[in-house]
Structure 1
């Protein structure tokens, strides 16, 4: 049994153009290619189909009987392809970005970026961090994600450092530390910090586990986690203390105080992840914006877990390539 030929869509499109324009030269002008290229595409299509599609006359190229039979199907093929492209282009009008939580600094960066571009919609997605972002980036349901990178990522996932978030202490107004302008991290040694939102096996729970181990600060992850309002209310009404990010939009509460942690300043690292095969037209601009905005790690005054320090110590160079991705060795 003879195998079916795989049709070249470019050749089919050339066939339809010649049919409508009657001349190879005019079809070439419409397609933006040379007349020779049109002739080669038609010759290949005729070879693949095993029939002659045109014969030349003084009035240009006329269809053979086989050509007339194929024309309806050719137009249908081109139409379906154009519809598919329109659907994908329509979906790509919005840049879909996973930010984990809309109270985080990631949102501030996205808002600042949005002010630099025109006619671009950004769709904010929230999930459960790196664990879900990896799959969502691979299947194209999101275009980018903000997350702390841990472990070994798939080789098609690309990432650039987005920001280093200083850690602050949240305490009630009656707590002994409430009157301080800043608190040295070593002074927290032995003090239990309550963080019910630290989901087991999440990248942020790992970060605070590293921080607790480095400075002898027990991390209490007992719940339940009823959200930020409940967390702040509990801090303000009792002896509990908690860690929050400097730029986190903590719900206001009259009984809480937010104090910078220093000596050194623990900083939470966040990266912008994307997929090598994602060619959203705005993605490269977002990556460049994040790269330009990033402020490097200062080992003299800041603290990071060893794995994060190692990632940031890589010679990064220029991560953005010509196709909107970034170098695979960025943060490797």
Structure 2
């Protein structure tokens, strides 16, 4: 089995686009298509179906994906075992459009010589990320464990940056014309965050946020992805959602969506890294320092109770 074809399959499955997979792998879209077609012929199944927005996994593709990830990881570990010091720094992000991925990409653009492998574990439970760090599958993960007592002794979580949140609404929403909003003005408005994963850090974040400001946060319904959420906001006169100020979101001009900053206090989502307590990847320190060098939150600001001080800047977590 061609391991580059398997790698192309994994990247296409994670990004939902052959072109995005090609960009990450440094090859053409045609090369990715040919690799995956050859893999489908060898397996005698279809792995993807094409949609208006890219590609989606078939049932066979969903079954094959975890095995494919294991194949890629095993091959990379084998190569690293015979080339000491050459292994790429592998970091897990929540999504390739997330603010953490955008900042990481900004860092890489300034340091293109760094061999960086960005992946997404697609798991809500932070203990999955902890296990991946302990196993060496990733060097660090942009996740948080909100209860440090549950961490194994060989893993730590450090707070590296805070992302202000913005309200995202359609053009007919009653708050659409606002230039800024206070948390108090969000009361009684439905804030829809579909598919909040149980035991995830963001489930606890939204619980604390709703309690602190008496907000109506609705996590009902399946999560069909960001495009479906943007479509729903554009069509609705009473639904809003929260997004990070650095999240990269693109929608058709006809949607007319508005991103509105929240202030007095700023509502912020803390970004943390899970990493080994001893002998972390030598390239990781520079990335942590870069995140810590970015602009601090505007004051006053609110953070959940489990946010700890930022490593480089000294900002203090918790409500302020």
- CA distance in structure 2 between the aligned counterparts of 1:187 and 1:155, rounded to whole angstroms: 43
Aligned pairs (5 A) from 1:69-108: 87=81, 89=83, 92-108=86-102
Q: Identify the residue that residue 138 of structure 2 maps to in structure 1.
A: 142
Q: Matches of 1:194 and 1:317 in 2, distance apart?
A: 34
Cα deviation for residue 208 of structure 1 reads: 1.2
Give distance in 1, aligned partners of 2:313 and 2:173. 47
Q: If the length of structure 2 is used for normalisation, what is the TM-score?
A: 0.65
Where do 1:1-332 residues align within 5 Å?
87=81, 89=83, 92-117=86-111, 119-127=113-121, 128-129=123-124, 130-152=126-148, 153-238=151-236, 239-253=238-252, 254-291=255-292, 293-296=293-296, 300-308=299-307, 311-312=308-309
**How many angstroms does 1:259 deviate by?**
0.8
RMSD: 2.7
- Structure of greater Rg: 1
Does structure 1 retain, via aligned residues, the 8 Å contact 2:102–2:247? Answer: no
**1:138 match: secondary structure:** helix
Distance 2:244 2:86 in 1: 32
Q: Is the 8 A contact 1:148 1:203 kept in 2?
A: yes
Inter-CA distance 231–277: structure 2 relative to 1 (3 Å threshold): same
* Length, aligned pairs only: 232
The runs of at least 4 aligned residues of structure 1 exceeding 3 Å deviation read: 88-92, 115-119, 294-298, 316-319
Give the match's secondary structure for 2:306.
Answer: helix
CA drift at 1:318: 9.9
Which sections of structure 1, spanning at least 5 residues, go unmatched?
1-83, 320-329
- The C-alpha deviation readout for 1:176-220, integer Å capped at 9, x for no partner, is 110110111101112221100321221012101111111111211
Structure 2: 5+ residue stretches without partners: 1-77
Corresponding residue of 1:57: none
- Partner of 1:103, secondary structure, is coil
